[in-house]
Amino acid sequence: MNRGGGRRGGISRRSAGHYSPVGAQLDDTSLENESGSSQVGKPRTAVGRVTQEVGGMSLRGGENVTPNAKVAQNKSPNLSGLSTKSDLSTRSDSRIQSPGVGVENCTSWESPACFSDDLEGERGKSDGKLKYSTCQQKYSPFDICSGRSASGGVKLKPSLLEKNRERKNEMKNPMEGHSIDILRPGMVLLRGFLSLPDQVKLIKTCQDLGLGCGGFYQPSYSDGAKLHLKMMCLGKNWDPETSMYSDERPVDGAKPPGIPDEFQQLVKGAIQECHTYLDSCAEVRNAKDFLPSMSPNICIVNFYATSGKLGLHQDKDESKESLHKGLPVVSFSIGDSADFLYGDERNIDKAEKVVLKSGDVLIFGGKSRHIFHGVATINSGTTPAALFEETKFRPGRLNLTFREY
């Protein structure tokens, strides 16, 4: 999973001779106003003065409607001078009063969850128009970065000695500081594959996506029992109540965000490194038969608090073709380490255990594609100090599992 090595433009060089770019942090690029001039660097308009052009009426947050505004061609609200998602999240005082727009469930600017993917400003692109979706603000936004320690207080910055030690590890020879273990046929663990910069950018990207439409929420099973985690899906939505994939989240109609290209490259890099290693193993005749390749179009992102856990289960809801080919699940671990259980039966007593640390990548496919697996314990306080300093990551573990439907 992680290695140090040469850096080039935010890209980490891997031991297999490839790069793993993760420049996925979303821009805070402001939307352009009607004249096309950028609002970046200018004082941002207060919510009470933001004008929305809707059906020829000028809507002002917290003010009366005035009929003298221009009618936008596409009838979409024109929020001139309003910045992107990070700005929207600060506007918690103003109520949207827009009859006929179809956003009755959006009650404040506190969450951008009421906007669809047409809010391209999140990616630094916009024509200045925001379009509403039917996504209801049923769940409060969940921020995976709180800046507090597991004890509830503000966590102290790491000492200079700690920082120097972690930075030194980043500068090691690519073959040092990480290892590859074959846990069983088709199941490979890449220790420390994700570099510290990789992990920082993964956290910040998931933080931004998690605060938007289709972001983190606490799912439940069909019997009403809540899962002990927060979940967000990318690419396609997976519903624990029905054990099915779909293009929208049934609980609120939200469409899952896409999988960032940088995430895709990391997954491909991890599989490539596995194949390079397996090709050198005498006991493995064909690396791709041992562990097939795949191109992920699904990612389930789970955040486990320090009390989080997940019972033994199989990942078996992908297509019959994907399961038949044994296309692998690729799992990224970030933050606190976790006791990961796996085995051939849904039996904790017979399950084997491995500790997954921040930066580790676990891949299971081929003969191990249908293993039972789960998270028994989150080891509180094990998040690397430098990672916390860079992100103020909330106590717990972030897990991204990629698969091809």
Domain with residue 196: its CATH number is 2.60.120.590
CB 355 within 8 A of CB 375: no
**376 and 352 in one domain?**
yes
Name the phi and psi angles at 367, rounded to 5: -70, -15
**287 and 334 in one domain?**
yes
pTM for this entry: 0.65
Q: In this structure, are strands 244-246 and 237-239 parallel, antiparallel, or unpaired?
A: antiparallel
**45 and 16 in one domain?**
no
Number of folded domains in the chain? 2
C-alpha 304: how far from its chain's center?
A: 13
CB 207 within 8 A of CB 257: no
In sequence order, the β-bridge partners of residue 184 are 187
**33 and 165 in one domain?**
no
Establish if 136 belongs to a structural domain. Answer: no
Give me the domain span that covers residue 67.
27-123
**62 and 165 in one domain?**
no
In the numeric block, the tokens 């990612």 are attached to 299
In 164-297 the beta strands, taken as DSSP E runs, fall at: 179-184, 187-191, 230-234, 237-239, 244-246
**83 and 200 in one domain?**
no
Query: How far is it, in rounded angstroms, from Cα 329 to Cα 396?
Result: 22
**47 and 14 in one domain?**
no
DSSP-based three-state secondary structure for 380:
coil
Q: How many residues does the chain have?
A: 405
Establish if 88 belongs to a structural domain. Answer: yes
Cβ-proximal residues to 134 (8 Å cutoff; 6+ apart), any chain: 102, 253
**pLDDT values of the chain reduced to their tens digit, one per residue, 405 residues:** 444 443 333 333 333 434 333 433 333 333 333 333 334 344 433 333 333 443 443 333 444 444 444 433 443 444 333 333 333 333 333 333 333 333 333 322 233 333 333 333 333 333 333 333 445 557 788 999 986 544 444 455 556 666 566 555 554 434 455 799 999 999 999 999 999 999 999 999 999 999 999 999 999 888 888 999 999 999 999 999 999 999 999 999 999 999 999 999 999 999 999 999 999 998 899 999 999 999 999 999 999 999 999 999 999 999 999 999 999 999 999 999 999 999 999 999 999 999 999 999 999 999 999 999 999 999 999 999 999 999 999 999 999 999 999
